């Protein structure tokens, strides 16, 4: 079972007069890349939240948003920083005079009240009493994110199987051209040999035949074909394991690519090389999606 790094999960829970909401968005990344938006009450818990989500989601670029909504506005008390408002008001009024801008006091006060930190919440700075509740909400949001990742992973699994099957099918298509390839190489070498031996009276034919056999053995790619088929089967087996193994699958792809390249370099046949190019195309499509696998 493979799991994508792309997913989304959101969960809300109401406790007494508060509603806790956690939204998580995840996309692919080589490591755990975490960013979060927290209410002021949760700032002291940012490191613990990070560790919890890292444990549950493992890897990827994770954006987490946490909000705490109160049922009644009266439950949220605010205080105005009058000293800050007065300072901003007088500074703005002085600037208006210097620039000869005619602005009445009501407009200046309105601007001053919109400056950040003028309105200060009187809510507690920590969430200690509700920390266990928030933890459970985060866990549930992560569970939903993982469900989303698994659904995406099933789609990718089907695509991978299709491309691996394509490589194995092309590998079978190589077989009819193998005997023709060897015979073609033999004929070409023998023709060159006869042309050259007519000019060399002391030519060692036995040595030439030995070198010819050695050369043809080097062109044999039976082992590469066997290994390529085994790597493809290992890819499917790894993909169906209980744990998602994105990095392991990437390593297997490297081995598949190595065998395909060797097959192409040894082929010396246009029909086989055509299939090799098609195999590389199938493998490239797998690699493009592997970057998104957990």
Tell me what pLDDT residue 216 has. Answer: 58
Per-residue pLDDT reduced to its tens digit, 217-241: 666 778 889 999 999 999 999 998 8
Number of H helices, E strands in the chain: 8, 6
Alpha-carbon gap, residue 19 to 69, rounded angstroms = 5
pLDDT band at residue 283 using 50, 70 and 90 as cut-offs? very high
How many CB atoms are located within 10 Å of the residue 266 CB? 16
Alpha-carbon gap, residue 12 to 274, rounded angstroms = 56
Stretch 78-88: mean pLDDT: 80
Tell me what pLDDT residue 207 has. Answer: 64
Average pLDDT in the chain: 84
Torsion, Cα 149 154 155 156, to 10 degrees, reads: 80
Q: What is the DSSP letter of 118?
A: S
Phi-psi label, residue 61: left if phi above 0, alpha if psi -120 to 50, beta otherwise: beta
pLDDT band at residue 244 using 50, 70 and 90 as cut-offs? confident
Output the six-digit token pair for 81: 């920083």
Alpha-carbon gap, residue 173 to 275, rounded angstroms = 8
Domains in the chain (CATH in brackets) are 7-73+126-149 (3.30.230), 78-121 (no CATH), 151-290 (no CATH)
Global pTM exceeds 0.75: no
């Amino acid at each position: 079972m493979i799991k994508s790094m792309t997913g989304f999960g959101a969960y809300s829970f109401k406790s007494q007069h508060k509603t806790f909401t956690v939204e998580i968005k995840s996309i692919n990344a080589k490591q755990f890349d975490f960013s979060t938006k927290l209410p002021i009450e949760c700032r002291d818990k940012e490191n613990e939240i990070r560790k919890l989500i890292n444990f549950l989601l493992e890897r990827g670029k994770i954006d987490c948003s946490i909000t705490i909504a109160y049922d009644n506005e009266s439950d949220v008390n605010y205080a105005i920083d009058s000293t800050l408002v007065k300072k901003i008001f007088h500074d703005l009024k002085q600037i208006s005079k210097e620039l000869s801008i005619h602005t009445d006091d009501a407009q200046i006060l309105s601007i001053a009240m919109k400056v950040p930190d003028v309105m200060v919440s009187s809510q507690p700075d920590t969430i200690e009493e509700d920390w266990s509740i928030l933890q459970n909400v985060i866990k549930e949001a992560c569970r939903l994110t993982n469900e989303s990742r698994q659904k995406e992973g099933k789609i990718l699994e089907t695509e991978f199987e299709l491309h691996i099957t394509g490589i194995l099918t092309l590998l079978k298509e190589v077989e009819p051209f193998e005997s023709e390839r060897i015979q073609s190489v033999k004929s070409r070498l023998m023709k060159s040999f006869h042309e050259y031996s007519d000019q060399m009276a002391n030519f060692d034919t036995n040595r030439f035949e030995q070198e010819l056999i050695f050369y043809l053995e080097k062109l044999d790619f039976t082992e590469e074909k066997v290994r390529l088929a085994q790597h493809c089967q290992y890819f499917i087996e790894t993909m169906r394991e209980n744990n998602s193994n994105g990095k392991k699958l990437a390593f297997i792809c490297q081995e598949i690519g190595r065998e395909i390249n060797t097959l192409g370099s040894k082929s010396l046949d246009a029909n086989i090389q055509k299939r090799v190019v098609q195999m590389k195309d199938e493998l490239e499509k797998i690699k493009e999606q592997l970057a998104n696998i957990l």
